[in-house]
Amino acid sequence: MRRPVLTVLTLTACVSVDGVARAVESIETLGTVESVTVYRGQALVTRQVELPGPAGLYEAVIGDLPERVVPGSIYAEPVKGVEVRSVRYRVRPLEEDLREEVRKLDQQLQELQDQSQSIARRRQVLIEHKAYLGHPEQFVAPTATMELTRGVLNAETLQNLTLFILDQRSKLSDDEGKLAIEDRILRARTDVAQRERQALTGSSPKAAREAVVFVNVTEPGKVRLRLRYIVNGATWTPSYNVRTDAQRRQVILEYYASIQQTSGEDWNNVSMALSTATPSLVAKAPVLVPLAVGLAPLAMGDTKQSREELVRKQKQVETTRNFMPQQAQIGQVAQEPAGGKGARGRGQEDLDRELNTLACEGQLLDIVSAKVVARSPAERPALAEDEGLSVTYELVTRTTLPSRTDQQLVQIASLPLEGEFYRVAMPVLTSYVYEEAGLTNTSPLALLAGPVSTYVDGRFVGHAEIPTVTIGERFAVGLGVDSSLRATRELVDRTESVQGGNRVAEFKYRLSIENFAAAPIFVRIMDRLPVGKESEVKFTLLSSSIEETKEPLYQQVQRKKGILRWEIEVAPQATGMNAQTLDYTFQVEYDKGMMIAGLPSAGD
C-alpha cells in the first residue's frame, strides 16, 4: 500500500494505560516547517504539526525528515491541549524518494535510460544490417568472374546489385552518425540530471526518516505540537557592502549573510534566524574529580612547551565532547566529529576522564615550575576571531532555501553610520595613499568579521575585510586609493658614535606627500620606530618637524608599540619640490659588541 503524505488516521494497536487497554490511532503527517535557526555547520528546524481530535491517545508519525537529521536532537514540544509521552526516531527503506523535485529527476533519468536502451537496440540492428550486406558483396565478384568465363555476363543485374549495396551502406553510415549524435546528447543530459539529483540528495540511500511521537490529546478539536531537530549541512558566512556618495555625507553598511544548506530538506517560506551560537549536543558539564599527588625524583623538562601541548590537547578533547552525537554519549561508537581526531569508540565518560587527566597534568606543571609561565597572545591556541561572541540575527522577511549546493545571499540589515573621513599614508609600506572612514557601530547589532565590497558614488573601488565589531565599538573601512595623492619615504642622514661600551646611531627620515588635486587635503601619516627590550637596545624619538597626534587612544595603544602618527594638511598642487614634507630623527643605543637583528612578531 502506498504511503500517504497527508494526515491519515488508522487504528494500529492497543496499549495499556493505567491498567486499562485503550486503542491507539496512528496519524501520519508531514507537518510544516515553521522556523529555522542556522548555525555554523548546523541548523535547528521547527515544524508545526496539527493533530485532529477528539481527545485520546495517538501515535503521530511525522515523516519526511531530512537525510542529515541528528537523531539525538529530535524533541517534541506540546503547544496546546496535548501531552507528549515519548519520541523515537526510525528509518524505513523506500522504493522512491518522497520529494517532488527528486521524483521528477528520477522519472527523467528513467526516460533517459529507456532512450539509451533504444539507441543500443537500434545500433545492434545496424550492425546486423551491415553483416547482411556482406553476403551480397561476396556473391557479386565470384558471379561476375564466372559469367565472364562463360561469355554470359548480366551487367545490368550486377550493376543494380552493386548500386543497391553502396546505397544501403551510405544510409547505414548516416544512421550510425545520427545515433552517435543522439547518444552523445543523451549522455550529456543524463550527466546533468544525475548531478542535479546528487546536489539534492547526496549519496544517501532512499529511505523514509520519521519521528514517532506518542501523545495524549486532552482537548477536543484540533491541537498542535512542535517538532524540533538539528540538521547537519547548513551554514552561513557574513559579508558586507559599504556605500558612500561623492560628498561623503555618511556610510551605508549593508550586512549580508551567504547561506548554504544541503540537509536534504527544503525550507519554504520560513521564519529564519542566523546565529553564531554552538548547538552543543552535550548539555551536561564534565565531572571534576579530585587531584591526588605524591612525591617523585626531581626531573624538569621544558615546562612552557609541555603546557602548550596540554592546552592544545585539552581544547581538542573539549571540542570532541561538545559535538558528540547521542549514540556516543551512551557508550556506542561515535562518528568522527569535525575538529576532533581519534574520537571513535570514546563515550562521554571516557572524554570526561581524559579532560580531567589533562587538567591534572596542567595543575602539576603549575606546582613544580620554578616560576610563573605567562603565555603571550601569539602562543595561545588559535581561535576564530568571533569565537565566544554569541549573536543571533532575526531576518525581517520570510525566506525560502532549497536543499542544494547553491548559496543564497540574504540581507540582515542596512545600517546608516556617521563617519570620520580621512586619508592615510604609510610610505614605509606603499606610495599609495588610501581613503578611510572611521565609524562607530551605533546599530543594535554586533558585526562579525567578514569580507566587504566598497562602492564610492556608485563605483566599485575594491575589497577589504571588516573585523568583529561589538555594539558601540569604533572601526575603520577602506574607501580605496586616492589617486590624487602620493607618498614617499627616504633616509636623509645617519650618524654613528661610540659612547662608553655602547654604540649610538641617529637616523633622520623624510616623509613626503604630493597632492595633485586642486584643493587642500588632510592626510594621516603613519610610520614606526623599532621596539626591543630596554635592557638590550633602546630607541628614542629625538625630534619631529610636525607634532605627533595627541589622540588618547593612539597614545595609549599604538604609540607604546612604536607606531608614529601625524595629521597634516597638504596644500593643493603640492608636487615635486613643493611637496609637503615631514622630518623626524630617532636614536638607537645598544652594546657595541652586538648587532641588531629583527625579531618575529615584534609588534604583537
Phi-psi region of 233 (alpha: psi -120 to 50; beta: other; left: phi over 0): left
Confidence class for position 335, pLDDT limits 50, 70, 90? very low
Q: Is the pLDDT of residue 300 over 60?
A: no
Q: Give the model's confidence band at 136: pLDDT under 50 very low, under 70 low, under 90 confident, else very high.
A: low
What confidence category does residue 603 fall into, taking pLDDT thresholds of 50, 70 and 90?
Answer: very low
Residue bearing the bigger pLDDT, 530 or 295 = 530
* pLDDT score of 525: 96
- Indicate if the alpha-carbon torsion angle 442, 446, 448, 453 is positive or negative: negative
Alpha carbons 358 and 311: distance in angstroms, whole number = 8
Domain residue ranges of the chain, discontinuous segments joined by +? 100-201, 303-379, 418-604
262-271, 301-310, 475-484: range with lowest mean pLDDT:
301-310
Higher pLDDT: 207 or 249? It is 249
Residue 373: pLDDT band by 50, 70, 90 thresholds? low
Lowest pLDDT segment from 169-183, 318-332, 494-508: 318-332
Tens of pLDDT, residues 90-135: 988 766 555 666 778 778 888 888 888 888 888 888 787 777 766 6
Lowest mean pLDDT, pick from 22-36, 362-376, 403-417 = 362-376
pLDDT at 248: 87
Q: What is the structure's pLDDT at 328?
A: 42
Q: What is the pLDDT of residue 289?
A: 75
Alpha carbon distance 267, 8 (integer Å): 23
Tell me which amino acid residue 48 is.
Q
pLDDT, averaged across the chain: 80
Higher pLDDT, 404 or 138: 404
> What is the reported pLDDT for 326?
47
Q: How confident is the model over 434-482, as pLDDT tens digits?
A: 999 999 999 999 999 999 999 999 899 889 899 999 999 999 999 999 9
Please determine, for residue 364, whether its predicted confidence score (pLDDT) is greater than 90: no
Per-residue pLDDT tens over the stretch 285-299 = 777 878 776 666 655
Q: Please state whether the peptide bond connecting residue 54 to the residue before it is cis, i.e. omega within 30 degrees of 0.
A: yes
**DSSP characters for 533-560?**
-TTTEEEEEEEESSPPP--HHIIIIIGG
Residues 6+ apart with CB under 8 A from 299: none
User: What is the pLDDT confidence band of residue 598, given thresholds at 50, 70 and 90?
Assistant: low
pLDDT at 1 over 60: no
- The yes-or-no verdict on residue 557 having pLDDT over 70 is yes
* Cα–Cα nearest to 67, from 384, 301, 403: 403
- What the block records as the C-alpha cell of 273 is 534566524
Instruction: Write down the pLDDT at residue 62.
Output: 92
Question: Which pLDDT score is estimated for 4?
Answer: 36
pLDDT of residue 3 exceeding 80: no
Interatomic CA distance for residues 517 and 77, integer angstroms? 67
Q: Do 555 and 512 contact (CB within 8 A), yes or no?
A: no
Taking 50 as the threshold, does the pLDDT of residue 355 lie above it?
Answer: yes
Helix (H, G, I), strand (E, B) or coil at 426: coil
Q: Quickly tell me which residue has 580531567 as its cell.
A: 356
pLDDT reported for residue 176: 82
Q: Which whole number is the average pLDDT over 358-379?
A: 64
pLDDT of residue 301: 62
First to last CA, the chain: 69
